[in-house]
Amino acid sequence: MENFNFYAPTYFAFGKDRENDCGELVKRFGGSKVLIHYGGGSVVRSGLLDRVKASLQKAGVPFVELGGVMPNPRSGLVYQGIELCKKEQVDFVLAVGGGSTIDSSKAIAAGVVYDGDFWDFYQGKLIEKALPVGTILTIAAAGSEGSPDSVITNEDGMIKRGATGDAIRPKFSILNPALTETLPAYQTACGITDIIAHLYERYLTNTKDVEVTDRLIEGLILTMKTEAPKVMANLTDYEARANIMWAGMVAHNNIVGVGRSQDWTSHQIEHELSALYDCAHGAGLAVTMPAVFTYNCKHDVMRFAQIAVRVWGCQMDFANPERTARDGIEALRSFLISIGMPKNFAELGAREEDIEKLAYTCCYGKGDEGGEIGGFVPLKQSDVEAIYRLML
């Protein structure tokens, strides 16, 4: 196991009606004037936004608001949010929504206290200072409610990039599974897929002998395998929603990723798809993961065989472990299709003729000279092109 630091001081308030505690939590974590940041539609229609405002008013905390966050959140709204916070002297950003809203909130929180262009952070600069952020989560998916990460799409070229820094780890996150019960099946499945991807990206490691994190990751994927069919059969199954929501946080606050190298290849390759075609991130991952794993399988057949046996219930083929490894990848593919995810480029709305461009942006979009991606297997542009072709 490699040396590591783990520090995840987010306060989690989990369960029914917990959004009503947001006013007190903002005060507890030092907020005296709040930006409520959200997407639109459902947060307003469901009455959630009104309950949030009522809780802030009850706690005597003034607020301004900024809606309009879209999936694959854009840099334009981040600039607006930064201006608004500066003008209104906001000292706390409260995200009400899913991963996109939280990521946009984190970008605003970092940008307000930074003299330069916030996009610098998405070009590799570590975020060391930010306004405190709190979240009220409405989609179990991104894990941003417990993570120090944010992903934003720059409208100048539609480039999707991530930034990180402990300063943007939420001070508190309110997780009420009931808030996710109104999510349509497709978005629910996209979230489940994203959570599974966060687990696979940590599972695919070159660090030996990290049994504890292997076992924890397997336990979380097994949870998704058990709970996903329940929620797809009954979208208002609170217990299944609760298991998925907590698993989604644990999957991504990095407690199951410490002490080992991680991968993130599927995320990097998918980001180009959702940036260019504006497809749902989870849907993109559903098409990307089996292709990446198939391409990388030979790099560590036993690792893929292990997850096949322990998670997907495949019988170990002792004469031919690679067959078991591939059975596990096919089992993942079948599972994702069973919850309604797309299986190829066509279903995603992606185009074969864009492959070269996608692979180029993926490998060179950050302006790196190297042009290589991948934490598990180093991949060049030609490898990435081959992976995109496996999705056809």
For residue 264, is it left (φ>0), alpha (ψ between -120 and 50) or beta?
left
Q: Does 6 bind a copy of itself (CB under 8 A)?
A: yes
Q: Does 303 bind a copy of itself (CB under 8 A)?
A: no
Selected from 208, 353, 367, 369, the binder of a copy of itself by CB under 8 A is 208
Helical packing angle, 281-296 and 185-203, nearest 10°: 30
Q: Does 250 bind a copy of itself (CB under 8 A)?
A: yes
- Taking CB under 8 A as the binding criterion, the range among 35-43, 185-193, 220-228, 286-294 that sits at the site for a copy of itself is 220-228
Q: Does 218 bind a copy of itself (CB under 8 A)?
A: yes
CA dihedral 37, 40, 44, 49 (to 10 degrees): -10
Cα distance between residue 206 and residue 204, in whole Å: 7
**Of the candidates 230, 202, 229, 228, the residue with the CA atom closest to the CA atom of residue 215:** 202
* Distance in Å, CB of 251 to a copy of itself, minimum: 10
Q: Does 223 bind a copy of itself (CB under 8 A)?
A: yes
Q: Does 356 bind a copy of itself (CB under 8 A)?
A: no
Q: Does 246 bind a copy of itself (CB under 8 A)?
A: yes
Between the alpha carbon of residue 310 and those of residues 49, 132, 147, 230, 260, the distances in Å are 42, 40, 27, 21, 20
Q: Does 369 bind a copy of itself (CB under 8 A)?
A: no
Cα distance between residue 360 and residue 372, in whole Å: 10
Q: Does 188 bind a copy of itself (CB under 8 A)?
A: no
Apex 342 CA angle, 337 and 346, nearest 5 = 140
Selected from 97, 132, 177, 365, the binder of a copy of itself by CB under 8 A is 177
- Taking CB under 8 A as the binding criterion, the range among 30-38, 52-60, 240-248, 329-337 that sits at the site for a copy of itself is 240-248
Cα distance between residue 125 and residue 135, in whole Å: 24
Q: Does 242 bind a copy of itself (CB under 8 A)?
A: yes
Cα distance between residue 213 and residue 33, in whole Å: 40
Q: Does 7 bind a copy of itself (CB under 8 A)?
A: yes
Please identify, using beta-carbon distances, which residue of 3 and 369 lies nearer to a copy of itself: 3
**Of the candidates 262, 289, 268, 264, the residue with the CA atom closest to the CA atom of residue 363:** 268
Size of the site for a copy of itself (CB under 8 A): 42
17-36 binders of a copy of itself (CB under 8 A) = 18
Q: Does 349 bind a copy of itself (CB under 8 A)?
A: no
Please identify, using beta-carbon distances, which residue of 212 and 233 lies nearer to a copy of itself: 212
Residue with tokens 């409405």: 138
Selected from 9, 41, 116, 367, the binder of a copy of itself by CB under 8 A is 9
**Of the candidates 197, 245, 232, 233, the residue with the CA atom closest to the CA atom of residue 217:** 197
Q: How many residues does the chain have?
A: 392
Cα distance between residue 85 and residue 194, in whole Å: 31
**Do the Cβ atoms of 266 and 197 come closer than 8 Å?**
yes
* Distance in Å, CB of 94 to a copy of itself, minimum: 18
Q: Does 227 bind a copy of itself (CB under 8 A)?
A: yes
Please identify, using beta-carbon distances, which residue of 11 and 349 lies nearer to a copy of itself: 11
Q: Does 11 bind a copy of itself (CB under 8 A)?
A: yes
Q: Does 226 bind a copy of itself (CB under 8 A)?
A: yes
Q: How many CA atoms lie within 13 A of 332 on its CB side?
A: 32
Please identify, using beta-carbon distances, which residue of 5 and 353 lies nearer to a copy of itself: 5
Please identify, using beta-carbon distances, which residue of 3 and 156 lies nearer to a copy of itself: 3
Q: Does 258 bind a copy of itself (CB under 8 A)?
A: yes
- Binding region for a copy of itself (CB under 8 A): 1-16, 18, 177, 208-212, 215-216, 218-220, 222-223, 226-227, 239-240, 242-243, 246-247, 250, 255, 258-259
